[in-house]
Chain A
Amino acid sequence: MILFDRVTKVYPNQSIALSGLNLHIQPKEFVTIVGSSGAGKSTLIKLLTREEIHTSGKIIVGGLDYDTITPRDVPLVRRRIGVVFQDFKLLPNRRVGENVAFALEVSGARGREIKRAVPKMLQLVGLAAKEHSFPEELSGGERQRVAIARALIRQPKILIADEPTGNLDPKNAWEIIELLLKINRFGTTVLLTTHNKEIVNALKRRVITINRGRIVRDDEQGRYTLETPSNLKGASTSPATGKEAK
């Protein structure tokens, strides 16, 4: 579903965000990416959503080779991937239903189609009753659900959740994670980044640890570990997966 082959990203100021990163994520996987700030997580996501363009290497997502993307194709690429952020990024002057509908409007869906899809999606994220509320009337957890509904309304194959629980209390954070797991069960590949140790450890899903633009651990049922020199050494021959982890 997602393939990074020796991907390097160097920003114009010469800082190296990713260096020769290899990553392979299967369809319907639930993968958590951890790493300290500046490790390269955000760059990884920006490369996926084509907000940034990789310097070298190969990126293939859902069969689409990112080297063949023209600027015209970028919106189409983004429509195939749902993204959820820490700060929700909802339109404050539009109601919940309108926020979710917005993603369909920009892609040219018909009004009738939108009217049918939006309530269904709100039901899925448990916000059927809030369709006509404004974002500011909702709790943080509810807002994140709206963002998830918007990300999912176009039925993307991949959902990227970039620190979705960063602004939430533990209870709301768990509800969001459970929602992501539910979405994953329906067949969507989920890519989660988080700093929340408890969540990572409780998930018992694949965990990829990034440090200085490289993958230093890749464990099938990983735990939250930030790199220290000792486990960095161990990571290069991670016995948990048997996979090569750079």
Chain B
Amino acid sequence: MLQFWRIIQAGSRNFLRNMWLSTAATAVMTVTLTIVVISFISNSALTSTIKGVTDKIDVSIFLSDSVTPQQRDAFKAKLESDSNVTSVSYKSKADALADYRRQNAGDQKLLEAISETDNPLPASFQIKTRDPNKLDSVTAIVNQPDNKALLDPTSPPTYSGNRKTTIDRIVRFSNFFKTTGLVLSIIFVIISTLIIFNTIRMAIFTRRDEIEIMKLVGATKWFIRGPFLFEAALYGIIAALIAAALSFTLLLGGGPKLGSYIDVQSTIAFFRSYPVLIVLGEMIIGIIIGTFSSLMAMSRYLKL
């Protein structure tokens, strides 16, 4: 325990003695950890955005007014049997009218255009699917001749509309974003590993006399290595604190502004509920990067 304390003291002293190198190493580590966190944030925000968007798109199939309840139920059962379909809900003409009234509550003219007795809105099935990009099987069911006869001739199903391409674009964009984040994270992890490697290498060179004396007076290998390890871990710890502060500021400050484009609420909520977990997570990543590079540098340059 006493030795451990002395190692920490020596490591901290080394950190302060090479202030410039330490600052550079900590700065790079900060950038790396911030990128890792931001990449994690955008990943989870985009995932939840896409989930939100795809949850909202349901295929709507409008039914002709002449459909009997038996026909309706048979059609519904067929749709539900498809493996890509998660749910099929029926919306009657009255429900459609109620929705219409709610959506246009402020517009008297639009409200007056439709009355109870003369309801032109068709009944419909709202279909939710597992994968909105693979609607071929649903289309096939709908296009079977006896099913097709049940459709409202004036309102074609909405699955083939422009929304799919829009969604595709969002998915592609977010996949690109996620990949970029991952690649950037990896690149910066490598950069900071190299920089810390070099910092520790320099530290070993500048302190080689001291190391020689330590060996001479009978210091154990880990007593000599310990301070270099701790010094590198310290870069990670300090960088994690700065990076956490940065990412919290970015997320809580910038998040609401992004609110209308992407869904950051769930990410913000996660950050709010587990701040300690996040700081600890960053520290662990930082410590792993630091000690790993330090160990690498020592195995090459510190011959004991």
User: At the interface, is chain B mostly helix, strand, loop or mixed?
Assistant: helix
With A and B bound together, what is the CA distance between A78 and B221 in angstroms?
13
Whether the pair A89, B3 counts as a contact (CB closer than 8 A) is: no
By beta carbon, the residue of chain B nearest A83 is: B216
Q: Could you give, for residues 94-119 of chain A, a 1 whenever the CB lies within 8 Å of some chain B CB and a 0 otherwise?
A: 00000000110111101000000000
Provide the bound-state CA to CA distance between A154 and B285, in Å.
41
* Number of residue pairs A-B, CB distance < 8 angstroms: 44
Tell whether A78 pairs with B215 under 8 Å between CB atoms, given A89-B209, A91-B210, A106-B223: yes
A75 touches B (CB below 8 Å): yes
A155 to chain B, nearest CB (A): 13
8 Å CB interface, B58-94 against A: none
Instruction: Establish whether residues B218 and A79, one from each chain, have CB atoms under 8 Å apart when the complex forms.
Output: yes
Knowing A102-B217, A106-B218, A106-B219 touch, does A89 contact B212 (C-beta < 8 A)?
Answer: yes
B226 to chain A, nearest CB (A): 11
The distance from the CB of A81 to the nearest CB of chain B, in whole angstroms, is: 9
Which residues of the other chain, B, contact A77 by a CB distance below 8 angstroms?
Answer: 218
Given A89-B209, A89-B212; A150-B217 close (CB under 8 Å):
yes
Instruction: Tell me, yes or no, whether B149 is within 8 Å of chain A by CB.
Output: no
B2 touches A78 (CB 8 A): no
A76 at the interface (CB under 8 A from B): yes
> B214 within 8 Å of A by Cβ?
yes
Contact A75 to B218, CB < 8 A, known contacts A105-B6, A106-B223, A108-B3 = yes
B216 with A89: CB separation less than 8 A: yes
Interface residues in A92-147 by Cβ distance below 8 A to B read: 93, 102-103, 105-108, 110
Q: Is A193 an interface residue (CB 8 A)?
A: no
Q: How far is the CA of A91 from the CA of B17 in the complex (A)?
A: 14
Bound: A49/B214 CA distance, A:
13
Partner of A102, one of B3, B212, B213: B213
Q: A89-B209, A89-B212, A91-B210 are in contact. Are A106 and B217 (CB under 8 A)?
A: yes
A183 and B217 alpha carbons, distance in the complex (Å): 19
Sample of 23 A–B contacts (CB below 8 Å): A49-B216, A75-B220, A75-B221, A75-B223, A77-B218, A78-B216, A78-B217, A83-B216, A89-B209, A89-B212, A89-B213, A90-B213, A91-B209, A102-B214, A103-B217, A103-B218, A105-B6, A106-B217, A106-B218, A106-B219, A107-B217, A108-B3, A154-B218
